[in-house]
Chain A
C-alpha cells in the first residue's frame, strides 16, 4: 500500500510539474509576444522618424517652407565659402578659443571610464548600412 501511495504522490508531482511547465511556457509566450510587439513598434517608430528626417531634408520640402516664409536665398560667392578645414562645424568656436581650465584627475578618469564602457555600444535601431 505504501508503495502505491508513493507512486501516486510521484505521479501527482510529475503531473503538477508538467502543468507548471505548460503554465510557465504560456506566461513566457505572453512576455515574448509583448516584447516582440514592443520591438516591432520601436522599429516602426524608427522607420517613421527616419522617413520624417528624409522628408525634412528633401529640397522640395525645404523649398516649399522657404517659399511659404518668403525667404530668398542666394548662393554664396566663392570668397564667402570657407575651405573645408576651416568650415568643419565646431561647437562654440568662440568658447573653444578661451583658455580652458585643466580638468581634474577624477573627471579625466570618469571620462575615460565612460568611453571604455560605451565602446562598441550600438543603438538597437541602427540602420543596416550607412548612407553614402
Chain B
C-alpha cells in the first residue's frame, strides 16, 4: 500500500502529466484548428509547386493534310548548383552526354549563388533518357516543345519559323501565331524530399489547349516540283535571285510559292535576311513586256483596238515623244495579235496611244496594279503607278511595255489569272482552313474572293488566243508543254542603275502563263532576277514554266485529255 506521501507524489505526477498533455493539446488545437494558415502555407511552399503544362504549337498542313511544320516535345536540362555537392564528378559524367567541355560545364555547375542554370535545351530523347537514368543530384529535366519542318527548305519563306521560345518570328508562323501557339495549362504538383512528383488529386488542374492547325492552299508535291524547276532554272542562267508562283486561276489559291535564295527553317539561326525574304511578296520590280498583257487587254476591252488591226512597227526603231523606241527584232506591219506575239514595243506603244492615257491608267488600276493584292502573307509591297496627271510625255509609250510601273510577282499571278478565268480579278490566298486538332473540326474556313470583273469574258477569250499564239509562234516557244496548249507572255526588263539610267547588263527575265489553254487549271509566274546571258524571259523563265506545267499537269492527272478534246473541237468547228 502506498503511503500518503507517495499518493500525493503520484497524484502530483499525474496532474503534471495531464497539465502537459492539456498544454500540448491546446497548442495542437491552436496550430491545427484555430490558426493553421501560416504553417499550412509554409508546408505548401515546401512540397507543392505550380507546374506549367506547355501547349503544343499547332501544325501547319498543306492542302492534303501533310504537315509542313509540327511541334515535338523535347527535354531540356537544368541544374540547381546549390544542391550539387560534387560538381567535378557531375561535370565529368554529364559533359560527354551534352557535348560540353568538362571545364566549361564545371564552371557552370560551380555557381553556388544561383539556383537555376540551363545546361542544354531541347536535347534528343535518347540523351534525355540516359541523363534521367544517371539520377544525378541537382540536375533536372523539363519538357519544352520544339518546332520542326519535315520538308526542310520547301515553302520556307511562306511558313517562316518559330523561335526558341515558340514565338512565330517570320511568315505564317508570325501572322498566325495567336492561333498556332495555343494556351498553356497548369497543375499543382506535390514533390517529396527527393523531388519526385506525387499526384495531387484534390488540387485544381487546368489542361493545356494545344494550338490550332492551319491548313494551307499549298500542295507539297506541286511546291516541290516548282522549287526543283526553279533550282534547275537558276543554275542554268546563274541568276542572282528568283521566284515562282503557281496558282489556281479560278480561285486564286496559291498552290506553290518559292523563292531563291532560300533557307532551311530547321536552322533558322544561321539564316541571312536575304534568304528569309519572301521576294514574291516583298519585292517590286518593273515587269517589262509581261505587262503588255494588261495593255492589250485594256486596248481590246475598250474596243479601240481589234486583234486584226495592223500597226507599223517601223522596222524596229521609232522616234516618239522626244525619244527613240526600239524593238529587240525589227518588224514591219503586224496585226495586233502578232504585235503581242512578237512583243513589239513600238506596236504596243502605238496601240496605247490610240487608247489614251486616262483609259489606259484606269484599266491598269482595274487589274489591281498600284494596290496590294491582299494576300494573307506578311510584308506585301503593293507596287506603284503614277496617275496620268503626273505622266511625262514619253510615259504613254513606256507604261504599256512595263516601265515606270512596279509590281510584285503576285500582281503578275493575279493578272494572268484574270485572262485565264474569263476576266475576274481574284485575290491570291494561302490560308485555307483553321482546324481544331483535338476534334478535327473546322474552326474557320476561307473562301475565294472575287474582287471585281476587269474585262469581259469575250475579251478574256480573245486574250487567251493571243497568248497561246505567243507560246506557239512568238517569243514564248520554250514554254510549250507537250500534249497541252499553253498561253503566256515573256518579259525582259532592264533594271534601273543607281544613277537613274536603265542598265544594259542587269535584267529581270520573267514569264507568265496559264495551262491548259482551253480550261486553265494553273497560272504560273516565273521571275529571274539578274540572269546571265542569254537573259531573255523566253530563254530563262519560259523553260521553268514548261517543266513545272508538264509535271504538275501529270500530277493532277490531266495528261493528254485536253488536246484530244481540242482536236475534236477544231475538226468539228
A residues lining the B interface (CB < 8 Å): 26, 28-30, 32-33, 36, 40-41, 44-45, 47-48, 51, 54-55, 58-61, 63, 75, 128-129, 131-132
CB distance from A63 to the nearest CB of B (A): 7
20 cross-chain CB contacts under 8 A: A29-B190, A29-B200, A30-B196, A40-B143, A44-B72, A47-B72, A48-B72, A51-B70, A51-B148, A55-B151, A58-B151, A59-B220, A60-B153, A61-B152, A128-B437, A128-B440, A129-B440, A131-B65, A131-B66, A132-B65
Nearest to B148 among chain A residues (CB) is A51
Contact residues of B between 47 and 75, Cβ < 8 Å to A: 64-67, 70, 72-74
Q: How many A-B residue pairs have CB under 8 A?
A: 66
Inter-subunit contact A29/B198 (CB<8 Å)? yes
Given the complex, which residues of B lie within 8 Å of A32, measured CB to CB?
199
Given the complex, which residues of A lie within 8 Å of B151, measured CB to CB?
55, 58-61
Q: List 5 additional contacts besides A54-B67, A58-B152; criterion CB under 8 Å.
A: A48-B72, A54-B70, A58-B220, A60-B153, A131-B64
Q: How far is the CA of A75 from the CA of B72 in the complex (A)?
A: 35
Chain B contributes a number of interface residues (CB within 8 A of A) equal to 30
Per-residue interface assignment for chain B, residues 157 to 199, with 1 indicating a CB less than 8 Å from any chain A CB and 0 otherwise: 0000000000000000000000000000000001000001111
Contact residues of B between 118 and 162, Cβ < 8 Å to A: 125, 143, 148, 150-154
Partner of B198, one of A26, A45, A58, A128: A26
Inter-subunit contact B152/A128 (CB<8 Å)? no
Q: How far is the CA of A129 from the CA of B59 in the complex (A)?
A: 14
Is B224 positioned at the interface, with any CB of A under 8 Å from its CB?
yes
Inter-subunit contact B438/A128 (CB<8 Å)? yes
CB distance from B436 to the nearest CB of A (A): 10
Q: How far is the CA of A49 from the CA of B72 in the complex (A)?
A: 10
Q: How far is the CA of A36 from the CA of B197 in the complex (A)?
A: 11
Is B456 positioned at the interface, with any CB of A under 8 Å from its CB?
no
Is B221 positioned at the interface, with any CB of A under 8 Å from its CB?
yes
Inter-subunit contact B125/A45 (CB<8 Å)? yes
Inter-subunit contact B150/A33 (CB<8 Å)? no
CB distance from B232 to the nearest CB of A (A): 12
Partner of A44, one of B73, B152, B228, B437: B73
Nearest to A28 among chain B residues (CB) is B199
Nearest to B190 among chain A residues (CB) is A29
